[in-house]
């Protein structure tokens, strides 16, 4: 199967190449795609060397699947052109997520909605993905009423420039090239993406709207605060969930332990709980610090961690591809 990776030289694109290899995705020919500036560069994949091409050249090469991770403007311009050529696109940007004609997919939850007609499939926001993977089995069991989430997000979510800023500050005390308005090392920035008219950031509102769409339930109320922290390896989330129905903690543990793609790490007596350094390079979503909220009934607190470049981006996109192959929707 011919697979194009659009944005193959970026952080997420590079991770996609790694995940395609690790998960043994049936790639017969890789088509690495980037801007005119990067076209002609060589890229190694599974022991073979491939030449980076422009999006137009990639369309002419007729891939079966195109994994996009090159930003919203590139997706808006090029995804429809790939789709018109009969190529199925899985897009990692925010461009198509809230388009009512496009599916927003986390395979463990709603891949069953996909059909042959879906030529542009949206990959959700990284912080949304890890949260809904945990929320979905709980929602099915207890019916979620309201979610309050605070995120603690890795600099890798911003990209290479942010990683370089952090490492320069850590090594030299300063960085000449700034991804953020403020220093990030030894600091916390309570802003991810731009501010909206309601005082929330775009990132926070993505979590609100995407959760409803993925869980196929507009009645779930979500409020979010998204924070950038000087960490690499994964995003962490403190989540407070109010249910319609009562729960037993033992049952919550059992439900999450059986959930696809979820690993429970919760042993306070031995100080075991999920951390970004342990989630780094892994495809699962880790959950711990599971406890009842003692201030109000039917409410749970927990802590969710996942590698934002993997399950939060590359892995989820490739899992969508795996589902399409398995169901005979591509190839």
Identify the pLDDT of residue 174.
96
Q: Is the distance from CB of 7 to CB of 34 less than 8 angstroms? A: yes
The yes-or-no verdict on residue 179 having pLDDT over 90 is: yes
Yes or no: say if 64 and 87 are a contact pair by the CB < 8 Å rule: yes
Separation CA 62–CA 88 (nearest Å): 11
Assess whether pLDDT exceeds 90 at residue 331. Answer: no
126 counts as catalytic: yes
pLDDT higher than threshold 90 for residue 230: yes
- Per annotation, catalytic residue among 126, 138, 232, 309: 126
Q: What digits encode the pLDDT tens for the residues 294-313? A: 999 999 999 999 999 999 99
What is the model's pLDDT at position 246?
Answer: 98
Per CATH, the homologous superfamily of domain 2-124+313-326 is: NAD(P)-binding Rossmann-like Domain (3.40.50.720)
Q: For residue 149, name the pLDDT band (cuts at 50, 70, 90).
A: very high
pLDDT at 67 over 90: yes
Q: Report the pLDDT value the prediction gives residue 147, as an integer from 0 to 100.
A: 99
Q: Please tell me which residue in 97, 103, 235, 280 is annotated as part of the active site.
A: 235
User: What is the assigned CATH class of domain 127-308?
Assistant: alpha beta
What's the rounded mean pLDDT across residues 88-103? 97
- Residue in the block written with tokens 């196929």: 216
- Let me know if 235 is a catalytic residue: yes
Residue 73 predicted with pLDDT over 90? yes
In 3-state terms, the chain is what percent helix, strand and coil (to 5)?
35, 25, 40
Which sequence spans correspond to the domains of the chain? 2-124+313-326, 127-308
């Amino acid at each position: 199967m011919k697979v194009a990776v659009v944005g193959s030289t970026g952080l997420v694109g590079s991770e996609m190449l790694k995940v395609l290899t690790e998960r043994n995705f049936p790639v017969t020919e890789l088509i690495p795609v980037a801007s005119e500036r990067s076209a002609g560069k060589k890229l190694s994949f599974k022991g073979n060397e491939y030449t980076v091409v422009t999006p137009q050249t990639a369309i002419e090469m007729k891939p079966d699947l195109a994994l996009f991770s090159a930003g919203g403007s590139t997706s808006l311009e090029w995804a429809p052109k790939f789709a018109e050529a009969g190529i199925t696109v899985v897009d990692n940007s925010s461009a198509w997520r809230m388009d009512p004609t496009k599916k927003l997919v986390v395979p463990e939850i709603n891949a069953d909605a996909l059909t042959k007609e879906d030529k542009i499939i949206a990959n959700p926001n990284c912080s949304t993905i890890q949260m809904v993977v945990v929320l979905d089995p709980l929602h099915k069991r207890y019916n979620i009423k309201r979610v309050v989430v605070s995120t603690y997000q890795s600099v890798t979510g911003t990209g290479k420039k942010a990683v370089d800023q952090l490492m320069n500050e850590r090594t030299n005390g300063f960085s000449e090239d700034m991804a953020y308005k403020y220093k990030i090392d030894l600091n916390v920035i309570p802003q991810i993406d731009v501010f909206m008219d309601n005082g929330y950031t775009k990132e926070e509102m993505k979590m609100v709207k995407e959760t409803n769409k993925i869980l196929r339930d507009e009645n779930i109320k979500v409020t979010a605060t998204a924070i950038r922290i000087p960490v690499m390896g994964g995003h962490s989330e403190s989540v407070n969930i109010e249910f319609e129905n009562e729960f037993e903690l033992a049952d919550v543990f059992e439900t999450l332990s059986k959930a696809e793609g979820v690993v429970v790490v919760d042993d306070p007596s031995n100080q075991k709980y999920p951390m970004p350094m342990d989630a780094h390079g892994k495809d699962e979503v880790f959950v711990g610090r599971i406890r009842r909220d003692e201030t109000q009934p039917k409410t749970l607190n927990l802590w969710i961690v996942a590698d934002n470049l993997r399950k939060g981006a590359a892995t989820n996109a490739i899992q969508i591809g795996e589902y399409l192959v398995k169901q005979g929707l591509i190839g």
